[in-house]
Amino acid sequence: MSSPTLYGLCGAVLVGLGLFGLIVHPQPLRKIVAFNLIGGGVFLLFGVVARRGAAAGFGGDPVPQALVITGLVVAFAATALAVALLLRLFHETGRATLRSDG
């Protein structure tokens, strides 16, 4: 059991955990935190693939690492937009749950 594989299993569990949090929590803010957890797990899997592809003098395959950096920035933009939408919904309706209407 090499250390990348260990982190790969850790990433797999994180994805499951995040998915559980996304489904179960009613508050959108908790859903956004859970979504970031899934993102962390998915990027960890990319990192494990990169580490296993270490060659030509690099500690890890630079291509998946670059993809993770791009993914992280996109995930942040998504979180920022979701939070802004949530706050605007709260200011408009005084409620912060999605189950307001059918």
Partner 1 sequence: MAFDTGLAVLVLGVAVWTITARDTFAAVVGFVAFGLLLALVWVRLAAPDVALTEAAIGSGVTGGLLLGAHTHLRRTETAAAGELPGAALRLAAAVLCAMVSAGLAAIVLLLPEPAPTLAPQVAANIATTGLGNPVTAVLMAYRAVDTLLETVVLLLALLGIWSLAPDRVWGGFPGPHHDADPQGVLTFAAQLLVPVGILVGVHIIWDGSVAPGGEFQAATILAAMWILAAMVGLVDAPPVSRRWLRILLVAGPAVFFAIGLAGFAMAGAFLAYPPPYAKLLILTIEIPLTLSIAATLALLVAGPPERAPQR
Partner 2 sequence: MANSATAGGFLLVLAIVLPVMGALLSLTLGGRHAERIALILMPVGLTVAVAIAAVVWRAHNVLQYFVGSWDPPLGVAFRADGLSAAMIVTAALLISGIGLFARAQFPAQGGAKARAPLVFWTLLLMVWGALNAVFIGGDLFNLYVALELLTFAAVPLVSLDGRAETFAAALRYLLFALLGSILYLLGTGLLYGAYGTLDIALLSGRIHAGPVAWAAVSLMTAGLLAKAALYPLHLWLPPAHAGAPAPASAILSGLVVKAPFFLVVRLWFDVMPGLPEHAAAQVLGGLGAAAIIFGSILALRQARLKLLIAYSTVAQIGYLFLMFPLAVRPETGHPWATAAWTGGVLQAVSHAFAKAAMFMAAGLIAEALGHDRIAGLAGIGRALPITVFAFGLGGLSLMGLPPSGGFVAKAMLLTAAVAENQWWWAVVVLAGGVLAGGYVFLVLARALADAGEPLTLLSTISRSRQAVVVVLALCAVLLGFVPLRPSELLQIGRPGLPIAVFR
Binding residues for partner 2, rule: CB under 8 A, are 15, 22, 28, 31, 35, 38-39, 42, 45-46, 48-49, 52-53, 63-64, 67, 70-71, 74-75, 77-78, 81-82, 85-86, 88-89, 92-93, 98, 100-101
Q: Rounded distance, CA 78 to CA 66, Å? A: 19
Instruction: Give the residue with the Cβ less far from partner 2, 17 or 67.
Output: 67
Q: Rounded distance, CA 79 to CA 59, Å? A: 30
Q: Rounded distance, CA 41 to CA 47, Å? A: 10
Identify residue 27 by its one-letter amino acid code.
Q
48: contact with partner 1 by CB under 8 A: yes
Provide the 8-state DSSP code for 26.
Answer: -
Choose from partner 1, partner 2, none: what does 38 bind? Cβ within 5-8 Å by kind: partner 2
